[in-house]
Amino acid sequence: MWFEFKPEHTDEVNKLWREFKYPKEVKVIGRYLLIGRHISVAIFDASNEEAILKITYPFRNLGIPHVNPALSLEESLKMMEMI
């Protein structure tokens, strides 16, 4: 997920990220801030849509969460070989 927020919400987003607790059904792989872009990135493994909503909902008034499913490059290449 990459989360794009307006510069005027930076302090609120930072505070929320510091205090945010991921749902127990979510495995966090990494969290990043794209410097100078007002975008944070979270890479996680979520078990279902409800878990994703628990992550995106608290930030709803501060910006736009973009959730994109992804596979590792290695997994993707193996799957494409099977097609």
Domain that holds residue 53: 2-82
Tens digits of pLDDT across the chain (83 residues): 999 999 999 999 999 999 999 999 999 999 999 998 999 999 999 989 999 999 999 999 999 999 998 888 999 999 999 87
Contact 44, 52 (CB under 8 A): no
Please count the structural domains in the chain.
1
Give the global pTM.
0.80
Secondary structure class of 8 (helix, strand, coil): helix
What local confidence, expressed as pLDDT, does residue 20 receive?
93
CATH number of the CATH domain containing 57 = 3.30.70
Of the candidates 30, 36, 31, which has an alpha carbon nearest to the alpha carbon of residue 10?
Answer: 36
What local confidence, expressed as pLDDT, does residue 36 receive?
87
What local confidence, expressed as pLDDT, does residue 80 receive?
92
What local confidence, expressed as pLDDT, does residue 21 receive?
94
